[in-house]
Structure formats: structure tokens, C-alpha cells
Amino acid sequence: MTIHQAIASPGCGCDSQDMLHALISIDEALARIAGYVVSVGRTEALSLDHAFGRILAQPVRSRSIAPAFDNAAMDGYAIATSALTGVGPWVLPVVARVPAGQAVTTPVAGAVAVRIFTGAPIPDGADAVVMQEEVLRDGDVIHLSRRPELGKNIRRAGSDMASGATVLDKGQRLGPREIAACAAAGAGILRVRRKLRVALLVTGDEVRRAGGPREAAQIWDVNTPMLTASLATADVDIIASDHGADNLAGLVRQLGDMAARADLVITTGGISVGEEDHVKPAVTALGGETLFSGVAIKPGKPVSVGRIGKAHWLGLPGNPVSAFVTWQVFGLALVRALSGEGLAATRRHVVTAGPIRRKPGRCELRPATLAGFDAHGREIVGFEDATHSARVGLLSAADGLIFLPADAESLPAGALVEFQPFCQS
């Protein structure tokens, strides 16, 4: 039987298991982030040409009406429809020519036409523009066989924006469409949040630079390039990236230095409870605080969020797949909150291509690939038989994560589940 019910919040049931009472749900973790994080306060003024990708710190309001004057929506001929007497056809002399950017000097008075081009101001007396494909031009006259509608092909002044109208609210990221709206509003200088200063510390004595020499028990570093690429946005400045010391004293020095300079410190690994897990003890030694440590998810259960001094701290698991999954769910939410962008709802519902059997207990975040639509127009996702936390190669084929409820041991093909698409950067 197909499951049609939406997954209830909070947390897809992740916090319903007695044995997981110390862990919080995904949605509880996100709610705590939203209530805990204070966005970066400082702002700067940037020209429109340099504001792409930044976060607005102040609303953008139109400096005038837009368009500023009545203008032609296409190339053609401006006429006065009231001058077209009888049933037609009509022969109208062309008395002037108005290209875009040129002031109008000749009005439309009576049964005449003015050659006009897209964006050019409408001459006084004209109330319609006949597109050039609908007339036959013969020398200095046009032949018109159909009466145009009043106002046809005219963009009215103020029809796009009113003067002083709010075009964009603060907290919006400036993409191409937003930049276009700012330009149309005459906003050449924008007040944006300053760049978020981020420091990255990847732990693990066995980790070596990708492609470099390594010994039998060593592995190439996936987390540093993966997270560096994830942070490569216009509003983030990576001020430090280092390999963490595998001892408490060394981590205390590194984290203390990073926290003194950064808005956000990201660590990978070292957040479990093993003898070699020194990150949380280092945070404690620095007087840091923990908002939460442990979420009822698979993979990525140890993920942690807190603060070291004035810097926020995000502790990701060391396993690259777990680090990537928890970055997508919690890391991006933390960055958005710090930048003042807010926590956008990114999940939507999809249906499963095949049945699922799994061990219940934690909400499972499984990489999935969009695979078209079913007969009801719902998106279908395909996925592996299990979540392979060590198989990084599978990530490149996935489009996002499906959220499998904690208490579900099996789901049939066609089951309705939540899906969060991957953010590319």
C-alpha cells in the first residue's frame, strides 16, 4: 500500500525512541540553531556590479516609478485608434521615427502613424502600437487592415514598480534575478552583510593531502576540499584551513586561535567519545558551550553545534559522507542564520522508486537520485539499498537526501518521503 500522509514534524519521529532519549531530532536541532545564532552585525556598501551572491542588510526600494514613462513593448507604429474611422482598411502616413532613448518631438494628431521601436517613449496622442508584422509599409505610408485594441503593446509608466515600493527585503541573497530587480529600481549601491569569516579544522592523524604520498594506514583528505568547495560562496571568506593536531593541547591552541578571528569554526572528526576524540574536550577547555551534541540521524549522529568565545562552532563527523550529509542539513542552516539569510524550507515530498527495508531507531538520511515522475505527477527518487557512510563515490550521482522516518522498518514502492536537494555551493 502507498503511503500518502506527509511526514509530521518535528523530526520525522526521530525522537520517539526511548533508547535515543539523549539525542534530539533534526527539526529540534534546526530550531535550536534558529533561536541560538546571532547574525553578523557589520555591513558594507557595495556597487551593484560587485554585490552578486551577497546578503542584503537593508531593504531595496524603488527610486522612481518603473517604467518611468509609457513606452513601446515592441517595434511597430504608434497610432491614435480614435482616428481610425469606418471599417478599414486604413492608409496612414508615417510622419516621424522614434528610436529607443530619443525624446519624442512629434505628436500623433489624427490619422497618422509614428514609426517606433521597443522601449521608445509613446508620442502624445497615441494610444496603441501596431506591431510591424501587422502592417504593410509602402514608402511613407502604412496599410492597416485590423483595428488594434486600446493600449495594445504599450508598457504603462509605473506598471512594474511604484516609487518607494519595497523591491527586495533584507536577508535576501542577491542572485541574477535580484540584481535585475535592483537595477530596475535604480539601486546602484546596496547595503549588504559583510562576509562571513570561516575557519576550517580537519582532524585525523591518518589524513593526507589528496593525491599526495600516503602510507598503508593513511587515507587521502576528502573533508578539506569538500568543505572548501561547499564554502565557496560570495558571502563567505575562509580565513584559515588547517589539519588538526591529534592531541588535546595542540587542538586547544588551534581552536583558540581560530575562534579569536572567525565567526564560525568548523571541525571534522574527534567529536565522539573515544580516546582519540579530542575536539569536544578542547572546546570545553576553551570555555566553550555546546548547544547540542548528538542528533537522532543516520549517518552523522555525533554532529555538534556550540560556541567558542564569540565564534560559533560546528562539529562535523570525520567520515566524509557523514560530514557531507550533516553539512547539507545543519552546516548550511548555520551559515544562513549567521549571514542573516534565515532558514529557508528546502524539503519537498517525493515518492520512492522501490521498497525500503531498514533498521528503525534513527531518522535515516539516504542519498537519492531524481528519476522522473509517476502517473500522478509526483517526483520519483531512486536510491541504494542502504546508506553507505564510507562510499563517497556515490554522492556524485545523487541529487539530494531522502528522510526515512525513525520508526519505519519498511516502506513500499511509491511511499511518500521528504527530499532535500543538495546545495551545490
The pLDDT, as a whole number, for residue 196 is: 97
* Secondary element (H or E) of residue 285: helix 279-285
Q: Residue 114's pLDDT is what? A: 97
Q: Which domains, ranges and CATH numbers included, belong to the chain?
A: 26-42+195-339 (3.40.980.10), 47-63+160-193 (3.90.105.10), 71-155 (2.170.190.11), 348-421 (2.40.340.10)
Output the CA–CA distances (angstroms, integers) from residue 424 to 125, 231, 316, 350, 386, in the order listed. Answer: 53, 10, 18, 20, 23
> What region, left, alpha or beta, does residue 340 occupy, with left being phi > 0 and alpha being psi -120 to 50 degrees?
left
Q: What is the pLDDT of residue 216?
A: 80
Phi, psi dihedrals of residue 28, rounded to the nearest 5°: -65, -40
Distance CA 314, CA 270 (A): 12
Please give the Cα distance from 128 to 85 (Å, whole number): 15
In this structure, the strands spanning 207-208 and 219-220 are parallel
**57-70 confidence digits (pLDDT tens):** 999 999 999 999 99
For residue 289, which amino acid is it? E
Dihedral over Cα of 366, 313, 335, 202: its sign: negative
pLDDT digits (tens, 9 = 90+) for 113-166: 999 999 999 999 999 999 999 999 999 999 999 999 999 999 999 999 999 999
- Say how many Å lie between the first and final Cα of the chain, rounded: 38
Q: Note the pLDDT of residue 133.
A: 95
The low-confidence residues of the chain, meaning pLDDT below 70, are 1-21, 274-276, 390, 424-425
Pairing of strands 416-421, 400-404: antiparallel
pLDDT of residue 297: 96
Q: What is the pLDDT of residue 274?
A: 65
Nearest to 49 by CA among 163, 150, 190, 173: 190
Predicted TM-score of the model (pTM): 0.86
State the pLDDT at residue 21: 63
Taking CA atoms, 350 is separated from 19, 121, 174, 399, in Å, by: 29, 49, 29, 12
The pLDDT of residue 10 is 42
Of the candidates 235, 254, 263, the residue with the CA atom closest to the CA atom of residue 40: 263
Non-local CB neighbours of 55 within 8 Å, separated by 6+ positions: 171, 172, 173, 174, 192, 193, 235, 339, 340, 341
Per-residue confidence (pLDDT) for residue 245, from 0 to 100? 85
CB count within 10 Å of CB 193 equals 23
Cβ contacts of residue 288 below 8 Å, gap of 6+?
Answer: 259, 306, 307, 308, 309, 313
Given the DSSP bridges, would you call strands 189-193 and 196-202 parallel, antiparallel or unpaired? unpaired
* C-alpha cell, 99: 528610436
Residue with cell 517595434: 75
Hey, is 259 helix, strand or coil? Answer: helix
- Percent helix, percent strand, percent coil in the chain, to nearest 5: 20, 30, 45
Cβ neighbours, 10 Å, residue 9: 13
Q: Which secondary structure element, helix H or strand E, spans residue 189, and what is its range?
A: strand 189-193
> Helices in 134-199 by DSSP H: which ranges?
176-184
Residue tagged 583528505 (cell numbers): 221
Other beta carbons within 10 angstroms of residue 211's beta carbon come to 8
Q: Report DSSP letters for 254-283, one per residue.
A: HHHHHHHH-SEEEEES--SSSTT--HHHHH
C-alpha cell at 262: 572567525
